[in-house]
Amino acid sequence: AIREFGLETPLLCADTVIALADGTIMRKAKDVEDARRILKMQSGSTISIISSLHYKSKVLAFSDISATHYHFKSFEEEDLEAYLDSGLWRGKAGGCMVEGFCKKYIISVDGFESTAMGLQVECLLPWIKG
């Protein structure tokens, strides 16, 4: 993007993965069976949602890696199947939507919820404000 557009326009890139307590990294599910497997591994567990961001402009370049930790109750099978049927897990790291399906199962959160949404704005804003 920098080669194509130059640095006249700032560039911001971000991506997210989920890590299970044993260190297993979960990316986006390939299909509904993969999503079911991944979500069942998260059920009743503590996960870390890890987001990286990279920012570059004419005057500033920085990178950040942030993690937010969620402890979940066990997912109810009926809710899990409805979520899988909805397709909302598609395109989500670990199939996880802490603002949606997983929300009612959250026992505790350690970190910024914006990290789980894919971009820790609390880290970014101090650097790019006026």
Q: What are the catalytic residues?
A: 15
Unique residue bearing structure tokens 């950040």:
64
Alpha-helical segments (H) within the chain: 2-5, 32-42, 77-86, 113-116, 121-128
User: CA angle 90-99-114, nearest 5°?
Assistant: 100
Q: In Å, how far are 45, 50, 72, 80, 99 from 105, measured between CA atoms?
A: 10, 19, 5, 11, 11
117 neighbors 102 (Cβ within 8 angstroms): no
Residue with tokens 């991506």: 15
Q: Which two tokens stand for residue 86?
A: 């909805």
